Chain A
Amino acid sequence: MDVGLLSQYIMNGLMLGMMYTLVAVGFTLFFGVLDIIKFSHGDVLTVGAFTGLATYIGLRSVGVSSTPLLLLAVLVVAILAMAALGMLIARYLVLPLRSAPALNTLLITLMLGTVLREMVRLFYPQGANPKPFPALLPTDSINLGQFNLRLDNAIMLATGVAIIVGLRLLLNRTKLGLAIRAVAQDEETARTMGINFTAIVLITFAIGSALAAIGGVMNGLYYNEINFGMGLLLGVIGFSAAIIGGLGSIYGAILGGFLFAALQTIGAVALPFASAYKDVFAFTVVIALMAWRPTGLIQEKISERV
């Protein structure tokens, strides 16, 4: 295959992988601290994207026109709003359910996802229709043979990498990170270490949801279109990524995210059948992976006391 073409495919795959990773990391963070799956995560991403769009429209209407300023505002507002939303969800839906069976939590958060999705559809003006999302990044591009490198994609990719590296540092180098990992290790010991469990959980949900907000905005910037349903599939894919990577492990989430994107791209181009089958292919592989590694690629330690 032509090199330019190949690099084009790789670029497409990387962009997808980055967005999946941002979602997957959220799932894995939440699981880490609470051992629960918060399935509304994908729809938090949607809400984040729409918050960003609303901010943009609002600022434009009051005459703000400097693109960098707009971009900054869109990101900041979306991140703050989603962080707050994440905390609310944790405080009023997830924490009260700690004693309930895992299935209930799963279902409640799934239903919460439906609520968020429907809210966007019903209460955002004409929310049922796909919304154009402004291109706030420089769109100049260089054509290298078949490969067309766009500045905005490059920037987004770089940002994504920066965010993930940042998160690693946060978790490994800071007191907060230590606290989060302590809670993830074992709630009781964490409490005895004098860590405020609830506070840490809320902060973790804030961080995860903020990542979702970034993912949402990034999605909008990449496709220049957002719709109320975008979160559902992204959520499921993010969940799959977190699981095949191995719940509770950041590296697992990253691995899973890019792996899934790779599978889709391969399914689309490198396989004999029509590119439409790419998701069928990707999910088949996911199921096969689960059969091979029932607890994910980066194995979770399981020690059962008998």
Chain B
Amino acid sequence: MTYLLEARGLTRRFGGVVALDNLDLAVVPNEIIGLIGPNGSGKTTFFNVVTGIYGAHGGSVTFDGADITRASSRAVYHAGVSRTFQRSRLSLPLSIFDNIMIGNHKRLNQGLWFNLVRRGEFKREFEVNYAAARTLIEVFEPQLAERMLEPVAGLPMIDRRRIEICRALISQPKLLLLDEPSAGMTHDETKELMDDILQVRDLNRNLTIVIVEHEMGLIERITDRCVVLNFGRKIAEGPYRQVAVDRQVQEAYLGVE
């Protein structure tokens, strides 16, 4: 079968530390994969290597049939991968709308002439995208749709997460990488957020999601499949129930060797 995302023997080192150790990981279209493992097991590093923030020291990554191992962050985004960050990286002084539009970069006309001179056409494009952003954020929190032009600096964590996810979704990517969406949120908030994400996914069936998460309840509930990392190596793979009972996994989490 063809994979949407496929990593073969992916390796990344930081000085002496091996963050990714010859990792094989394949993602089938339209599935939701949970990427789990103890802290420092290389989950986030995997995202950073895939999205071109870090280069790989070995192995390869293909996305949608194209090799993106050496691709820049830009290229990866344009290929249809977008992500959220473990520590929210919104532009705080900018408005909700602006932050979402940053995620929409590839669908906005970036021409100097268009932006500076053809204000009429620009306005039309603006209104279309404004509407799109509203529709999207309303799925998460109708309140926010009324505050589109307020800076995000004043908003609570949950709202920032929502905006960050909207920023990742607005460009209708093929693959969404969620890096610990639950970080800094209560259990209920997380649950709510996930339901919203699934709702979006129902609107856009061919969205594939890789999610890094510590909330095992959440993983169990939404993932089709899990991949467990430890010291940058894959130690287990399969449905959550199955990997949850795996001895190696339990040892990894308990830190027994």
Contacts and interface: CB of A to CB of B under 8 A. Distances in A.
Do A and B contact each other directly (Cβ–Cβ < 8 Å)?
A: yes
Interface in B21-42: none
A96 B141 CA distance: 39
A305 interface: yes
Interface string A288-306: 0000000000000001011
Contacts of B87: 305
A303 B19 CA distance: 14
Nearest to B51: A306
Nearest to B179: A306
B138 to A, nearest CB: 30
Interface in B8-56: 14, 44, 48, 53
A305 B14 CA distance: 12
A303 B48 CA distance: 13
Interface in B158-172: none
A276 B219 CA distance: 71
Contact residues of A: prevailing secondary structure: loop
Nearest to A304: B53
Contacts of B53: 306
B85 interface: yes
Contacts of A305: 87
Interface residues of A, number: 3
Contact residues of B: prevailing secondary structure: loop
A305 B48 CA distance: 10
Contacts, number: 7
Contacts of A303: 14
Which of the four size classes fits the interface of chain B? Answer: under 10
Contacts of B85: 306
A220 B14 CA distance: 50
Nearest to B45: A306
Nearest to B83: A306
Nearest to B86: A306
Interface in A258-306: 303, 305-306
A216 B14 CA distance: 45
Interface in A132-178: none
Interface in B73-125: 85-87
B29 to A, nearest CB: 26
A303 B53 CA distance: 12
B95 to A, nearest CB: 20
A26 to B, nearest CB: 32
A99 to B, nearest CB: 14
Contacts of B14: 303
Contacts of B44: 306
A305 B87 CA distance: 9
Contacts of B48: 306
A306 B53 CA distance: 9
A303 B85 CA distance: 17
A100 to B, nearest CB: 15
Interface in A20-58: none
A299 to B, nearest CB: 14
A149 B44 CA distance: 63
Nearest to A303: B14
A193 B205 CA distance: 54
A305 B53 CA distance: 11
Contacts of A306: 44, 48, 53, 85-86
B2 to A, nearest CB: 30
A270 B19 CA distance: 51
Nearest to A305: B87
A230 B53 CA distance: 46
A182 B85 CA distance: 30
Nearest to B47: A306
Nearest to B44: A306
Nearest to B87: A305
Nearest to B89: A306
Interface string B150-162: 0000000000000
A252 B14 CA distance: 25
B153 to A, nearest CB: 14
A306 B46 CA distance: 12
A52 B44 CA distance: 58
Nearest to B48: A306
A306 B73 CA distance: 13
A302 to B, nearest CB: 13
A303 B15 CA distance: 11
A81 B86 CA distance: 49
B70 to A, nearest CB: 18
A214 B48 CA distance: 49
A138 to B, nearest CB: 53
Interface string A59-102: 00000000000000000000000000000000000000000000
A117 to B, nearest CB: 35
7 contacts: A303-B14, A305-B87, A306-B44, A306-B48, A306-B53, A306-B85, A306-B86
Interface of B: 14, 44, 48, 53, 85-87
Which 7 residue pairs are nearest across A and B when measured between Cβ atoms?
A306-B48, A306-B53, A306-B85, A306-B44, A305-B87, A306-B86, A303-B14
